[in-house]
Amino acid sequence: RHFLTDTDLSPTELLEVLDLAAELKADPGTQVPFAGPGAAASDAARKTVAVIFDKTSTRTRVSFAAGIAALGGSPLIINPGEAQLGHKESIADTAQVMSRMVSMIVWRTYAQVGLEEMAANSSVPVINALSDDYHPCQLLADLLTIREHRPTDAPGGLAGTTLAYFGDGANNMANSYLLAGANAGMHVRIAAPDSHQPAAAIVQRAQALAVETGGSIEITDDAAVAATGADVLVTDTWVSMGQDAEGRGGADSPFMPYQVNAALLDVAAEGALVMHCLPAYRGQEITAEVIDGPQSVVFDEAENRLHAQMGLMAWLEARG
């Protein structure tokens, strides 16, 4: 099994992973999946997990390193430019070599098609640690955070939540909110300028999924419409890694009307959560007042990267 995009887990499997994450968060000593059944974390049966970065990272790097160690494994962090991959060696050859030496491959890269090629040639699970198209590990952490702070009465605690995302509607985070939100039965609203709305294919996939789960999808260019009555307001950088910053930042940015600020929070549901995957640019996509204010859960969200990915890796390991 691989985890390349948000819909690689079915709605039921998504809740299994989140439940396992919550269990591990409550009692990290209960399981050491990489060391084998009944083994202590210090056993010689430790397994190595390769974590490859083609882009920079703080949360993903630290949460995978700490989470792999906590599960009884050994993280092997490969920084941008350190491997032959991308310079001298094909993705397919790299996948075959690594599969013989590690128990999982975690990869942050540019093109989604590269992850697909890695998975097609790997005999061990491949996990997407962010690509240009999706950030599914971040969504596991976000969903865990939402149900901790604002659970609904639905089984799993997520279905029926209204989440509104503001800013670059065509980036990896927007795509993952659409797919993972629909998977969880949530009502997902995307507010973005006409020039940066989500691709029709992603919207269609999310809509089809929402029909099955009881969720819904709404795309708008009106930030106030998206924010009104929403349970969660979320945004992301206006300039994703690998993009040219020109024309995106500053006061005359096309994204400025989508800034998450006090006026937007005012029209959201009472006690609405404010989220951001981080790193954040205060004064651009979100004001300091809001991200550092009482409704913000961004640091719980960041911490939950650790627990969510431990849940994911333990779930994948148990699937064999």
In angstroms, rounded to a whole number, what is the distance separating the alpha carbons of residues 189 and 126?
A: 30
In angstroms, rounded to a whole number, what is the distance separating the alpha carbons of residues 273 and 317?
A: 33
Would you list the DSSP string of 208-259?
Answer: HHHHHHT-EEEEES-HHHHHTT-SEEEE--SS-TTS--TTTSSTT-TTGGG-
Region of 157-165, 171-179, 291-299, 302-310 interacting with ligand NVA (CB under 6 A) = 171-179
In angstroms, rounded to a whole number, what is the distance separating the alpha carbons of residues 101 and 83?
A: 15
Is 319 annotated as a binding-site member?
Answer: no
Is 309 annotated as a binding-site member?
Answer: no
Which are the contacts of 275, defined by CB distance < 8 A and separation ≥ 6?
142, 145, 146, 232, 233, 234, 296, 297, 298, 301
Site for ligand NVA in 82-141 (CB under 6 A): 130, 135
> Which residue's Cβ lies closest to ligand NVA?
240
Nearest 5°: CA angle at 300, between 22 and 135? 80
Q: Is 240 in the site for ligand NVA (CB under 6 A)?
A: yes
Annotated catalytic, 236?
yes
Among 7, 31, 60, 131, binds ligand CP (CB under 6 A): 60
Q: Is 130 in the site for ligand CP (CB under 6 A)?
A: yes
Among 20, 85, 102, 173, binds ligand NVA (CB under 6 A): 173
Region of 74-82, 217-225, 235-243, 266-274 interacting with ligand NVA (CB under 6 A) = 235-243
Is 131 annotated as a binding-site member?
Answer: no
Q: In which residue are the tokens 């985890």 written?
A: 3
In angstroms, rounded to a whole number, what is the distance separating the alpha carbons of residues 81 and 83?
A: 6
Among 277, 297, 302, 314, binds ligand NVA (CB under 6 A): 277
Among 237, 259, 261, 287, binds ligand NVA (CB under 6 A): 237
**CB 57 within 8 Å of CB 108:** yes
Q: How far is CA 293 from the centre of its chain?
A: 23
**CB 78 within 8 Å of CB 106:** no
Annotated catalytic, 2?
no
Is 150 annotated as a binding-site member?
Answer: no
Annotated catalytic, 305?
yes
Phi, psi (5° rounding) for residue 121? -110, 5
- Active site residue: 54, 132, 142, 236, which one? 236
Q: Is 138 in the site for ligand CP (CB under 6 A)?
A: yes
Distance of closest approach, residue 129 Cβ to ligand CP, in angstroms: 8
Task: Write b or e for each residue in 212-243: b if 16 or more Cβ atoms lie within 10 A of its Cβ, otherwise e.
Answer: ebebbbebebebeebbbebbbbbbbbbbbeee
Q: Is 259 in the site for ligand CP (CB under 6 A)?
A: no
Q: Is 278 in the site for ligand CP (CB under 6 A)?
A: yes
Annotated catalytic, 282?
no
Site for ligand NVA in 188-207 (CB under 6 A): none
- Active site residue: 61, 277, 307, 309, which one? 277
Query: What is the contact surface with ligand CP in residues (CB under 6 A)?
Result: 57-60, 130, 138, 277-278
| Binding-site sequence positions for carbamoyl phosphate | 57-60, 84, 108, 135-138, 277-278, 305
